[in-house]
Amino acid sequence: MNRRIPCCLLLAAAFAHARALAQAHDKPTIQTSGEEVLVDVVVRDGKGKSITNLPESAFTLTDEGDAKQITSFRLVKGTDSVSSSGATSKVDALRQIRLISLIFDRMDQGERAATRQAALLFLKNQFPPNVYMAVFTLGNELQGIQGFTNNRDVLAAAVNKATSRPSSQFSSDSQQLKTSLEEILGPNQTGVQDLVTRQAQMPLLTAQQGLDAIMARSMIEMVSLDERSEMSYEGRSTIWALLAAVRGQSELPGRKAIVYFSEGFAIPQGAEEEFKAVISGANRNNLSFYPIDAHGLIEATLNAKSTEGLATAVSGAAQSGNMAVPGPFVSKTNIALAEDNAINANRSNLQDTLQILADETGGFLTANTNDFQTPLERIAEEIETYYELTYSPHIEKYDGKFRQISVKLNRSDLKVYSRAGYFALPPDMLRSSGLNIYEVPLLRALSNVVPNKALPFESGGMHFHGDGNLETCGFLIDMPLSNITLRENGDKSRILGGLAYVALIKDARGMVVKKLQGDMPLELTRDQVISLKLSRFTDVEYFDVPPGYYTIEAAVLDKQSGQTNARRNAMFVPRQGVGLAMSSVALIRKWRPKEPDAAPDDPFVIGDKSVTPTLLPKINKSASSSLPFYVVVYPNAKNAEKPEMYIEFNRDGFLKRVAASALEAPDAQGRVQYVANAPIGQFDPGNYAVRFVVKQGTEKAEENFSVLLEP
């Protein structure tokens, strides 16, 4: 079987659908046997010119430091594919998609008119049919004006609209675009409201429907990411918007470009890492920035603001000697900010930032000119060309770790742009669930599990009887929300935050057998913040696995701060038999009303109530004199004896047993949902190993866990 693992950090189900559709309709240009990794590579010289005449022998490729043999090699140039032997053929347009994003930043009326003329000129280039463009504006956030399309008339209308008024006035247009994207995804049959998740769950469609879904997915990712990340400070909000634009296009192979019409922006102090993330993400995703300075031919010096800023800094520093006895005309603010002013002054040449953005991503800056035709033609040429390499990684264990890829050349005068690697997850798993953007830092955290006390959480697994030979297991996560980072949005009308998690279920060999994920965006009013900080996030995800020993690796993400935390837990799933059995034991945190959409066989539902378990094995004796617990017992239907349960507490070899109690008759599903409180009032504080034992005649089943009794 030919399995291909596309080498990208953010592989989603939409891309997997598109690839499957392409393979079903057209024979792939590259064919190899076994599993493969596909790598897109762009090579440029020191001036940013694309190099297209390199042989396969010029490339060296390593996976996790091990040299790999290149099994397929070709140059993709426009709609043509050139093999290592020099033979030319046509590429599959569905697989080899190019994306171009036209982003119009904050500009005055005259600059909007100039950039409108330049963009319309750009659209007159003869692009092949597999080039798709979208139009955005950037105010305090990224606003979508037109989704990805290759209809030049539609794009021209969107450009005219985007340059007709200030970018801050396009929020309603962006919302209308989201509505149209939702229509592309079709009727909501999943019960999920989030568009990104819904798209990942779409069934296989026709070729054109699948292609439309890919374009919709990218637009949703770009706009939705920035909405959750907007900040009030202009420079920082611009960086976050550009980061959203970069990350939202990461699903597809091939070349991507952002033509960025802007006056430029400063990198605020403290936002250096965010700016590096934009450049890093662009390079990983084969995306180049092509900034166009909207000022055009500027006669005034761009360094005027830098000079003014340095003057302020010098003035503040000169006044610092008077800090002990400040006079009435001495600005304490300037004194205190003298250092910051000096740092920021060196960043006030807004064109410098655009230059860095272009240089570090393989694009180029168009500035100090009103002649846009030549550079726009060059941009059109450069997005058409890249190399495709494939190799066999020979992965022995899909353990979910991040595997680094390195592509080097035998020439030091050339620069290579390629993705950084991929996550070693089973291809079938990626096709079924995809990989959401928020999962990337979580999977990285699981590659190197380091506890982070600033973001505490608990996780674990429980098992219950399932259908057939499989046990139904529940992955539980419990996290206090007191440490979640919250930030005001741009107009300070809302408080934003969010968390996400990923859990990898690994068997005894360390192979990933299940991937679970969850995302909880937060949008609050100011008076809701206190109650949120006092609450907890709890969630249960169910999955079925055969009997055996498993490891649960879980990670959480604070979406505003970017902090992660990860932990590991062991879980044993017993083999089902015809005799007496019992589930895992859950300590009860609280009871809550049954959810309207709860499944009839949900093991945590008892009548009209649901059990909320706790994973924190601590009981404060001053607050409770009993141990509340919940367990499901499955009596042997062929055994006439009535089952009973007893509990043993073992502390340093000293054993205490709670008297046995008889269980009620099983329900229609053959189970006994048992809720009780074990008395602990007479127990000394300390760590206890707790053993739950159920007996039915001569049959016996047991479960164990540990608990800490605090004074």
Contact between residue 551 and residue 569 where contact means Cβ atoms under 8 Å apart:
yes
pLDDT in the model for residue 96: 67
Q: Which residues of 493-525 are buried (b: 16+ CB within 10 A; e: fewer)?
A: eebbbbbbbbbbbbeeeebbbbbbbbbeebeee
pLDDT grade for 138, boundaries at 50, 70 and 90: confident
- Neighbouring C-beta atoms of residue 166, cutoff 10 Å: 13
Contact between residue 500 and residue 559 where contact means Cβ atoms under 8 Å apart:
yes
pLDDT in the model for residue 211: 55
- The full 3-state SS of 201-217, as one line of letters, equals CCCCCCHHHHHHHHHHH
Average pLDDT of span 268-296: 77
Domain spans in the chain, listed from the N-terminal domain onward: 4-95+386-429, 98-296+354-362, 304-342, 450-576, 580-711
Contact between residue 69 and residue 391 where contact means Cβ atoms under 8 Å apart:
yes
CATH topology identical between 450-576 and 580-711? yes
Orientation of helix 207-227 relative to helix 13-25, angle to 10°: 160
pLDDT in the model for residue 28: 29
pLDDT in the model for residue 266: 82
pLDDT grade for 471, boundaries at 50, 70 and 90: confident
pLDDT in the model for residue 436: 66
Give the separation between CA 460 and CA 479, rounded to whole angstroms.
Answer: 12
pLDDT grade for 235, boundaries at 50, 70 and 90: low
Average pLDDT of span 383-401: 82
pLDDT in tens, 14-29: 223 333 333 333 332 2
- The full 3-state SS of 494-512, as one line of letters, equals CEEEEEEEEEEEECCCCCE
Please state, for a pLDDT cut of 90, what percent of the chain lies above it.
22
pLDDT in tens, 649-696: 999 888 888 888 889 899 888 889 999 888 888 888 899 999 999 999
**DSSP state letters, 510-579:** S-EEEEEEEEEEEEE-GGGHHHHHT-EEEEEEEEEE-SEEEEEEEEEEETTT--EEEEEEEEEEPPP-SS
Per DSSP, the three-state class of 711 is coil
Structure tokens at 164: 């007709």
pLDDT in the model for residue 184: 55
Global confidence as pTM: 0.58
pLDDT in tens, 425-450: 777 676 555 566 577 778 878 888 88
pLDDT in the model for residue 335: 34
pLDDT grade for 273, boundaries at 50, 70 and 90: low
Q: State which amino acid sits at residue 158.
A: A
- Using CA atoms, how far residue 338 sits from 88, 315, 343, in Å, is 62, 8, 9
Give whichever of 248-262, 463-477, 532-546 has the largest mean pLDDT. Answer: 532-546
End-to-end CA separation in angstroms for the chain = 61
Give the separation between CA 246 and CA 254, rounded to whole angstroms.
Answer: 14
Give whichever of 42-51, 85-94, 208-217 has the largest mean pLDDT. Answer: 42-51
pLDDT in the model for residue 23: 34
Give the separation between CA 364 and CA 395, rounded to whole angstroms.
Answer: 38
Please state, for a pLDDT cut of 70, what percent of the chain lies above it.
73
Structure tokens at 129: 């049919």
Orientation of helix 304-319 relative to helix 338-345, angle to 10°: 160
pLDDT in the model for residue 194: 44
- Neighbouring C-beta atoms of residue 556, cutoff 10 Å: 26
In the predicted structure, residue 306 carries a pLDDT above the cut 60? no
User: How large is the greatest C-alpha to C-alpha distance in the chain, in angstroms?
Assistant: 98
pLDDT grade for 62, boundaries at 50, 70 and 90: very high
pLDDT in the model for residue 185: 53
In the predicted structure, residue 648 carries a pLDDT above the cut 70? yes
- Neighbouring C-beta atoms of residue 457, cutoff 10 Å: 22
Structure tokens at 285: 């995703």
Chain centroid to CA 75: how far?
A: 31
Q: State which amino acid sits at residue 478.
A: D
Residue 470 is given by DSSP the state P
pLDDT in the model for residue 214: 58
pLDDT in the model for residue 132: 87
Give the separation between CA 520 and CA 560, rounded to whole angstroms.
Answer: 12
Cross-strand partners of 83: 74
pLDDT in the model for residue 308: 43
In the predicted structure, residue 269 carries a pLDDT above the cut 70? no
Structure tokens at 562: 């970017």
Least confident piece of the model among 256-265, 376-385, 524-533:
376-385
pLDDT grade for 196, boundaries at 50, 70 and 90: very low
Average pLDDT of span 456-474: 84
Give the separation between CA 439 and CA 16, rounded to whole angstroms.
Answer: 17
In the predicted structure, residue 334 carries a pLDDT above the cut 60? no
Alpha helices, H only, 131-247: 152-162, 171-185, 195-200, 207-227, 234-247
Helix (H), strand (E) at residue 324:
none
Cross-strand partners of 645: 661, 694
pLDDT in tens, 93-126: 555 678 899 999 988 888 888 889 899 999 988 8
Q: What CATH architecture is 450-576? A: Sandwich (2.60)
| Nearest C-alpha neighbor of 405 from the set 66, 70, 75 | 66
Average pLDDT of span 516-540: 88
Instruction: Specify the fold of 580-711.
Output: Immunoglobulin-like (2.60.40)
Chain centroid to CA 666: how far?
A: 44
| Mean pLDDT estimate for the chain | 76
The residue among 281 and 124 whose pLDDT is bigger is 124
Least confident piece of the model among 160-164, 526-530, 593-597:
593-597
pLDDT grade for 562, boundaries at 50, 70 and 90: confident
Cross-strand partners of 96: none
* Domain 98-296+354-362 -> CATH class: alpha beta
pLDDT grade for 409, boundaries at 50, 70 and 90: very high
Give the separation between CA 611 and CA 655, rounded to whole angstroms.
Answer: 29
Helix (H), strand (E) at residue 627:
strand 626-634
